[in-house]
């Protein structure tokens, strides 16, 4: 599109709302060019680690595939502590970046091995905020398994897939035993997602990291919610809801039909 429309950095462009919503560049206003505009060159190397970029067949995105790439390492940690993942309050993006830049944090296990002595000497880290951070890190060790799976940042594994996977295992490392075909029999998991999960758990480095997290750092990797189920009065009872039988719509009371129509 850039080439087709001859867009340059510094151009004034004509923008239209496509479908009345999304801003869409129609064309550059070439008559307003001053001669200082520059050509847009597509990057061939990662802007952070200078590794050669890679594009998968059929995908639009170019990726840096260097697993040690600092930008990726930092983003992985930011994702790990984020609200929907392990939710380590008081950590956040800014602290991850700060600790990383200062050499106080280099990978996910490092989150549990922080040198609080050194951190206490940094500006803005009083005894109280350090205490809070310590506590939040401690609490994150007991998060439900699906949050940990999501936190690992396995490509294509979002919160929903993480929940599906957590339901299927007693221990996180059980996922290592699943073949791509077996994974594909699970709800919402297609070949792309299954392949990515197999790829993650076949990496020795990843397994080593998980073992360190569990054995040395005390992160819970068993599915506790499974053990909590059962034993109640409703144990073993199956509920059928009208939504499960869309083809029997006519057989339902008028009141229900109306309610469902409103809902959808
Ligand atoms: Zn890179």
Domain stops at, among 140, 158, 174: 140
Number of domains in the chain: 3
155 plus 215 within the same structural domain: yes
Between 193 and 234, the more confident residue is: 193
Q: Quick check: 133 and 91 in contact, CB under 8 A?
A: yes
pLDDT 10s digits, 17-57: 888 788 999 999 999 999 999 999 888 999 999 999 998 88
Cα of 215 to ligand 1 centre, how many Å? Answer: 30
Residue 119 has pLDDT above 90, yes or no: yes
Pair (136, 155) in one structural domain: no
For residue 52, report the distance from its CA to the centre of ligand 1, in Å: 8
Which pLDDT belongs to residue 66? Answer: 87
Q: Specify the DSSP class assigned to residue 51.
A: P
Residue 212 lies in a domain: yes
Q: Are residues 119 and 184 in the same domain?
A: no
Å from CA of 156 to ligand 1 middle: 19
pLDDT at 122: 92
Which residue, among 185, 87, 189, has the nearest Cα to 136 in the 3D structure? 87
Considering the domain architecture, whether residues 136 and 83 belong to the same structural domain is answered as: yes
CA 139–ligand 1 middle distance (angstroms): 32
Q: What is the pLDDT of residue 8?
A: 96
> Quick one: pLDDT at residue 68?
84
| pLDDT value at residue 233 | 67
Measure 45 CA to ligand 1 centroid, in angstroms: 8
User: Does 124 share its domain with 172?
Assistant: no
Distance from residue 106's CA to the centre of ligand 1 (Å)? 15
Q: What pLDDT sits at residue 191?
A: 94
Token readout for 207 is 């397994």
Name 149's Cβ contacts closer than 8 Å, sequence gap at least 6. 157, 162, 165, 166, 172, 175
What per-residue string of b and e applies to 178-196 under the rule 16 or more CB within 10 Å gives b? beeeebeebeebeeebbeb
Residues 145/166, Cβ–Cβ less than 8 Å: yes
pLDDT in tens, 176-232: 999 999 999 998 899 999 999 999 999 998 999 999 999 999 999 998 765 444 456
pLDDT at site 84: 93
Q: How far is the CA of 91 from the centre of ligand 1 (A)?
A: 24
For residues 28 and 9, give the distance between their C-alpha atoms in angstroms, rounded to a whole number. Answer: 10
| Together in a domain, 154 and 125 | no
The DSSP result for 98-122, as a single string, is HHHHTTS--SGGGGGG--HHHHTTS
Task: Say what the pLDDT of residue 231 is.
Answer: 56
Q: Which two tokens stand for residue 172?
A: 């996180």
User: CA 123, 219, 217, 204 torsion: positive or negative?
Assistant: negative
Could you tell me if residue 262 is inside a domain? no
Which of the listed residues 140, 162, 186 is the one where a domain comes to its end? 140
Q: Which helix (H) or strand (E) holds 73?
A: helix 70-81
pLDDT at 262 over 70: no
Q: What is the mean pLDDT of the chain?
A: 88
CA of 64 to the centre of ligand 1 (A): 5
pLDDT in tens, 135-172: 999 999 999 999 999 999 999 999 999 999 999 999 99
Residue 250 confidence (pLDDT) above 70 = no
- What is the domain-level CATH number for residue 108? 1.10.150.20
pTM: 0.71
Report the percentage of the chain scoring pLDDT > 90: 69
On whether both 102 and 130 belong to a single domain, the answer is yes
Same structural domain, 163 and 212: yes
Asked if residue 76 and residue 10 are part of one domain, the reply reads no
Res 19: pLDDT: 82
Per-residue model confidence (pLDDT) at position 177: 94
Q: What's the token pair of residue 198?
A: 């197999």
> Is there a domain that residue 236 lies in?
no
The answer on pLDDT for 261 being more than 60 is: no
pLDDT at 246 over 90: no
For ligand 1, the distance from its centroid to the CA atom of residue 118, given in whole angstroms, is 28
Supply the pLDDT for residue 224: 75
CA distance 46 to 63: 8
In a domain, 230, yes or no: no
| Distance separating alpha carbons of residues 84 and 141, to the nearest angstrom | 15
List % helix, strand, coil for the chain (3-state, nearest 5): 50, 10, 40
Average pLDDT over residues 71-100: 93
Residue 150, domain extent: 145-222
What CA–CA distances, in Å, run from 59 to 9, 63, 76? 25, 10, 22
Percent of the chain at pLDDT > 70 equals 86
């Amino acid at each position: 599109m850039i080439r087709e429309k001859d867009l340059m950095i510094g151009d004034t462009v004509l923008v239209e709302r496509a479908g009345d919503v999304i801003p869409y560049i129609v064309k550059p206003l070439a008559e307003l060019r001053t001669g200082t505009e520059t050509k847009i060159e597509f990057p061939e190397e990662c802007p952070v680690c200078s590794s050669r970029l890679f594009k998968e067949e059929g995908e639009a995105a170019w990726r840096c595939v260097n697993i040690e790439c600092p930008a990726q390492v930092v983003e992985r940690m930011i994702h790990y502590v984020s609200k929907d993942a392990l939710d380590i309050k008081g950590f956040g993006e800014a602290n991850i970046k700060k600790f990383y830049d200062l050499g106080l944090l280099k990978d996910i296990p490092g989150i549990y091995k922080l040198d609080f002595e050194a951190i206490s000497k940094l500006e803005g880290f009083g005894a109280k905020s350090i205490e809070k951070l310590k506590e939040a890190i401690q609490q994150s060790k007991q998060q439900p398994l699906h949050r940990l799976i999501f936190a690992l940042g396995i490509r294509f594994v979002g919160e929903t897939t993480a929940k599906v996977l957590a339901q299927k295992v007693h221990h996180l490392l059980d996922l290592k035993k699943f073949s791509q075909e077996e994974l594909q029999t699970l709800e919402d998991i297609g070949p792309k997602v299954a392949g990515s999960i197999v790829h993650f758990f076949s990496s020795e480095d990843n397994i080593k990291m998980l073992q360190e997290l569990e054995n040395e750092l005390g992160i819970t990797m068993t599915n506790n919610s499974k053990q909590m189920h059962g034993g109640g009065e409703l144990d073993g009872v199956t509920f059928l809801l009208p939504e499960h039988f869309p083809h029997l719509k006519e057989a339902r009371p008028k009141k229900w039909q109306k309610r469902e129509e409103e809902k959808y």
